[in-house]
Amino acid sequence: MVWLQMTDSSEILSPKPAIPPPLDSEFHPISLGNREYLKLVWGAKTKVPLAIALERNEGNLSVLRTEILPTGCGYDAATRLYVERLVKSMLWQIGGWKIIVGGPRETAEFIAQTYSHTGARTFDVRLMEQVYERPFVVEYTQYEKTPLARESSLALGGHLDGCRIGFDLGASDYKIAAVRDGDPVFTAEIPWDPRPQSDPDWHYQKINHGLNLAARHLPRVDAIGGSAAGIYIGNYVMVASLFRGVPAEQFARKVKPLFVNLRKEWGVPLEVANDGDVTALAGAMSLGAKGVLGIAMGSSQAAGFLDGQGRVTGWLNELAFAPIDYNPRAAADEWSGDLGCGVQYFSQQAVVRLAPAAGIPLAAGHPAEQLKVVQDLHRQGDPRPPKTFETSAG
């Protein structure tokens, strides 16, 4: 089971936008649904406090405090769905191996069952266990006993001096650049399809080949920085769709330390970060600003966030899995199986999904090739492609 059944009481979560997307008239944005639910809460004579705390690596803890409607008021189904989607949004925005629910015991029990190895969110549970390398747990506590937040942040890159190599690992191409004192002296896009590749040595050699291409255009290499889709902690690959074809045992032995091993081979500082964080950093540098949210819409959806001090938060920022649509018949994410998640709305997958609805037939093939068909039609002035882009990024 990947979706929680909607009943009449949860219809309050399904208002439609004033201007519906051209190709998705049944889109029910979660932001609007949550506003409607909170209006009910604020207007209710009785309301119940609720705290959701997520514990992640190094004891960091993030806490959200809100209010929900009491059990038995006629909106139990809406409350369960609202809380479950809220938990999932926090889990993929922030990350964590432990959820602490401070509030009604029945709410905590519902979340514990849903986020278990036999519940609707088993995919999320297993991925978080892989990221944090410990069992996933859900705990109940009284609202007043919810622990206080413990947050941390870290400065990330932004250096331009010297001879540097930068790379970005996407699902359809590998981008590489050599930069000398801030000026690019070499750039290239290398087409590849890493996801079905089961040999971890293929990945290592392919990435190293790109680094060597860039290094030929520099007198020396002072540092290497890269971005890639996935979750990276201390330069270790914890979860990444790019390497999903590699068997688990070889992933742990060869893929997880891949960038650590590359750093040893090159003998220079080498840092890899989630492509969303790098997007936010690039935005902050170009805007000369702090407190930046960066979103990259490529083969998947990446997001990153810099706080008011211009530092990364250490959150997962994997918003490809964050739910944005309350429609119970929304598109399913091909990896997790869940419905209405960001990747199906803010990526090339969205354009490919919507193309048939716009009257654009696409032959079977790689999503990047299918996207190119739509883009080429757009350049030719075809009136159909704009609707796909208006819907997928509107």
Structure tokens at 124: 């999320």
Decide the pairing of beta strands 173-180 and 183-191. antiparallel
- Identify the pLDDT of residue 158: 65
Alpha-carbon distance of 153 to 53, in angstroms, equals 18
Query: Which is more confidently placed, 58 or 326?
Result: 326
pLDDT at 394: 46
What's residue 153's pLDDT?
A: 74
Check pLDDT > 60 for residue 337. Answer: yes
Higher pLDDT, 91 or 288: 91
94 has pLDDT over 60: yes
pLDDT, tens digit, 9 for 90 and up, residues 209-223: 999 999 999 999 999
Determine the pLDDT at residue 364: 85
Instruction: Strand 270-274: give its sheet, edge to edge.
Output: 183-191, 173-180, 163-169, 223-228, 270-274
**Residue 1 reports pLDDT greater than 50:** no
Q: State yes or no: pLDDT of 244 exceeds 70.
A: yes
Q: What are the sequence ranges of the domains in the chain?
A: 8-145, 163-293, 347-394
Distance, in Å, from the CA atom of 382 to the CA atom of 384, rounded to the nearest integer, reads 6
3-state DSSP assignment of residue 55: strand
Q: Is a pLDDT exceeding 50 seen at residue 163?
A: yes
pLDDT tens per residue, range 339-354: 999 999 998 889 999 9
The confidence band for 172, taking pLDDT boundaries of 50, 70 and 90, is confident
Residues 65-86, mean pLDDT to the nearest whole number: 95
In the predicted structure, residue 254 carries a pLDDT above the cut 90: yes
Fold for the domain defined by 163-293? Nucleotidyltransferase; domain 5 (3.30.420)
Cβ count near 214 (within 10 Å): 23
